[in-house]
């Protein structure tokens, strides 16, 4: 597992643009691009042990995202 992650990290760091350490922004885009959140792949789901990057609340983000998806007049969650 470690060697797979190290290989992926070196690929990401070798000029494939902005990323969260696992996925590049370009490959994560789908539909209308709203921007990026100030969190990595683990922070986006409240891991590890429910802690996230300072200033980012995964629960608030997903609550706002759900509102945005169901109500197009709602502000963007990003």
Question: Domain map of the chain by residue range?
Answer: 2-70
Report the pLDDT value the prediction gives residue 10, as an integer from 0 to 100: 59
pLDDT in tens, the chain (78 residues): 455 555 555 555 556 678 777 788 888 888 888 888 888 878 888 877 666 667 788 899 999 999 999 998 999 998
Cis check: omega of the bond before 27, within 30 degrees of 0? no
For the whole model, what pTM was predicted? 0.65
Residues 29, 48: Cα–Cα separation, whole Å:
24
Task: Judge whether 34 and 78 are in contact, CB under 8 Å.
Answer: yes
Task: Judge whether 34 and 72 are in contact, CB under 8 Å.
Answer: no
**DSSP code of residue 58:** H
Contacts of residue 40, Cβ cutoff 8 Å, sequence gap at least 6: 20, 21, 22, 53
């Amino acid at each position: 597992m470690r060697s797979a992650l190290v290989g992926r990290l070196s690929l990401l760091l070798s000029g494939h643009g902005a990323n969260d350490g696992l996925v590049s922004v370009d490959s994560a885009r789908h539909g209308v691009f709203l921007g990026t959140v100030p969190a990595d792949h683990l922070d986006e789901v409240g891991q590890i042990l429910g802690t996230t990057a300072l200033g980012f609340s995964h629960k608030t983000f997903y609550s706002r995202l759900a509102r945005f998806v169901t109500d197009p007049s709602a502000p963007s969650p990003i």
